[in-house]
Amino acid sequence: MTKTIFNPVRGMKDLYGIDLTKYQYIIDNALRIANKYGYKLIETPIVENTEVFQRSIGDETDVVAKEMYTFKDKGDESITLRPEGTAGVMRAIVSNNISVTKNNPLKLMYYGPMFRYDRPQKGRYRQFHQLGFENIGAMSPYTDALTIALAHEILTAVGIFDCQVYINSLGELSSREDYIKAIVKYFSIYEDKLSEESKIRLKKNPLRILDSKDNNDKEICSMAPKIYDYLSKNDIKYFECICDILDNYGIKYEIDNLLVRGLDYYSHTIFELKVNNGQYKDAIGGGGRYDRLLNILGGPDVSGIGFAIGMERLMMLLDDNKFKLKENIISVIPVSENENESAFELYKNILSYDIRAEFVHIGNNLSKKVEIASKLDSNILLIIGNDEVKDNTVTVTYMNKTEEEGRNTVINRNNIINFLKYN
RNA sequence: GCGAGUGUAGCUCAGUUGGUUAGAGCACUAGAUUGUGGUCCUAGGGGUCGUCAGUUCAACUCUGAUCACUCGCCCCA
């Protein structure tokens, strides 16, 4: 394809140009909104001890069982490139003894690269980026609803107006365990009819059968026990309360009883964000509540809720054209070498006012220099020739006007800064 | 990890049942034009046809392997 011998490693991608502009745009918006809701930025290492992920995400999950970049370092320690952000944040809270209690919650935001050894596809890379939020300590329907609202607000802020929210509740730990027992019992009856994948899921991660795309599985699922019947009264009240708050907030959502998530640590509220415009069918963000996670890693026994947004998936949905907006770029152009010095003085003066400008002095003739300036997306040219030096003036050329419209204006050089500031 | 497809210039792609020097548009460089770019005109540079092997007098074309990307499954963000 290319002459280059050095291609990036499979599933990895260089981030530059318009994609990087989009990336920064999303992060800028996220930081602004995070500040409003009282979230503080945290940055944790990309590498953790393997056990951090095994214990939090769960040994049986696909992420841990087959997708982690795990290797031994030179000290023979098993370390892993983080496949997601939550576990590392929890570990950081524990190691730094950051205070978090029921009444003194902690709100953290993070973003950065994650790694999963998966088959690359559209919107799926082996190194990808997540933007995530964790609200630890507080346990209330308001917290859950606000977290969902926050996720929704970020997407709206960057221009995604048709995002759909799917929510479900897995209930407290005991409800969830009872439910799992019930569906294992139910699916065991139909084991022969299940797809091969679901037969494996039945042993390893029975909840996932509910999420099967296999038509036959779907039919069996439709008759399966519903999570709703296994939720405690409190669970139901809690979940209904969230729905009420979301209604009040004006956020549209859909309750999806078959929604389950692939990471073991979730309990109670779980949710996913999708954009249903045909461009991409998978979730671009998702999250939920985790009751035991911090405690499992040696921290206090408090609950938390969080979510992550897939940066690449979100970037994909943003319109390239919105990120191609031309800046106001000024080019200072000496007509010939004789005017280089004089033009350079002007250029330095402009820069000292923090105005974006280029000094276009290469090119054999003026025609060439104008062409170069044009390629730099310059929209205003300041031309310095023989006459301009003599008269202490500057010829201003507007690139977006035609000759008939009056492309050129000659102004006094002493007024040039004021002139630029008002244009 | 499983299934399918694609790979020809910087980009988007043509290329006949295997046949001589592999093309187009856009982009790029230069000229027309020594004080004005974009439209038009003229000329030019750029390819081991993804890579390796095989079949053949002859391979961009056929076969095998391999790599990368895309789509579906799985999983997830």
Which pLDDT score, from 0 to 100, does residue A326 have?
Answer: 63
The average confidence (pLDDT) of chain A is 89
What is the side-by-side order of every strand in the sheet holding A69-72? Answer: A47-49, A78-81, A69-72
Amino acid at A79: I
Q: Residues 6 or more apart from A235 whose CB is under 8 A from it? A: A169, A171, A172, A175, A268
Residue A255 has pLDDT above 80, yes or no: yes
Instruction: Compute the C-alpha angle A6/A129/A111, nearest 5°.
Output: 130
Domain ranges of chain A: 17-172+232-321, 330-421
Instruction: Compute the distance between CA of residue A269 and CA of residue A246 in angstroms, rounded to an integer.
Output: 13
Mean pLDDT, residues A398-417 taken together: 85
Instruction: Compute the distance between CA of residue A88 and CA of residue A35 in angstroms, rounded to an integer.
Output: 21
Q: Note the CA–C1' distance, A234 to B33, in angstroms.
A: 83
Which pLDDT score, from 0 to 100, does residue A177 have?
Answer: 83
Instruction: Compute the distance between CA of residue A125 and CA of residue A24 in angstroms, rounded to an integer.
Output: 19
3-state SS class at A296: helix
Which pLDDT score, from 0 to 100, does residue A198 have?
Answer: 81
Q: Note the CA–C1' distance, A137 to B9, in angstroms.
A: 59
Taking only the tens place, the pLDDT of each residue in A257-301 is 888 887 888 889 999 999 877 677 788 999 999 998 999 999 999
Which pLDDT score, from 0 to 100, does residue A62 have?
Answer: 83
User: In the beta sheet, which residues pair with residue A107?
Assistant: A135
Q: Note the CA–C1' distance, A43 to B13, in angstroms.
A: 45
Q: Which nucleotides in chain B lie less than 7 Å from some protein C-beta?
A: 1-2, 7-11, 28, 30-31, 33-38, 47-48, 50, 67-77
Taking only the tens place, the pLDDT of each residue in A122-150 is 888 999 999 999 999 999 999 999 999 99
ipTM above 0.90, yes or no: no
Instruction: Compute the distance between CA of residue A271 and CA of residue A285 in angstroms, rounded to an integer.
Output: 9
Instruction: Compute the C-alpha angle A119/A154/A323, nearest 5°.
Output: 75
Which nucleotide has its C1' atom closest to residue A309's CA? Answer: B77
Dihedral sign, CA of A342, A347, A350, A352?
negative
Domain A17-172+232-321: CATH superfamily is: Bira Bifunctional Protein; Domain 2 (3.30.930.10)
Which pLDDT score, from 0 to 100, does residue A377 have?
Answer: 83
In this prediction the pTM is 0.88
Which pLDDT score, from 0 to 100, does residue A6 have?
Answer: 59
Report which of residues A76 and A201 the model is more confident about: A76
Q: Residues 6 or more apart from A85 whose CB is under 8 A from it? A: A44, A110, A112, A114, A130, A132, A308
Q: Which residue has the tokens 């000292």?
A: A352
Domain A330-421: CATH superfamily is: Anticodon-binding domain (3.40.50.800)
Mean pLDDT, residues A365-374 taken together: 90
Q: Residue A47 burial by CB count (10 A; 0-12/13-18/19+): exposed, middle or buried?
A: middle
Taking only the tens place, the pLDDT of each residue in A310-349 is 999 999 888 887 887 667 789 999 999 899 999 999 999 9
Instruction: Compute the distance between CA of residue A148 and CA of residue A270 in angstroms, rounded to an integer.
Output: 10
Taking only the tens place, the pLDDT of each residue in A28-65 is 999 999 999 999 999 999 999 999 999 999 887 888 88
Which pLDDT score, from 0 to 100, does residue A280 have?
Answer: 79
pLDDT > 90 fraction of chain A, expressed in percent and rounded = 58
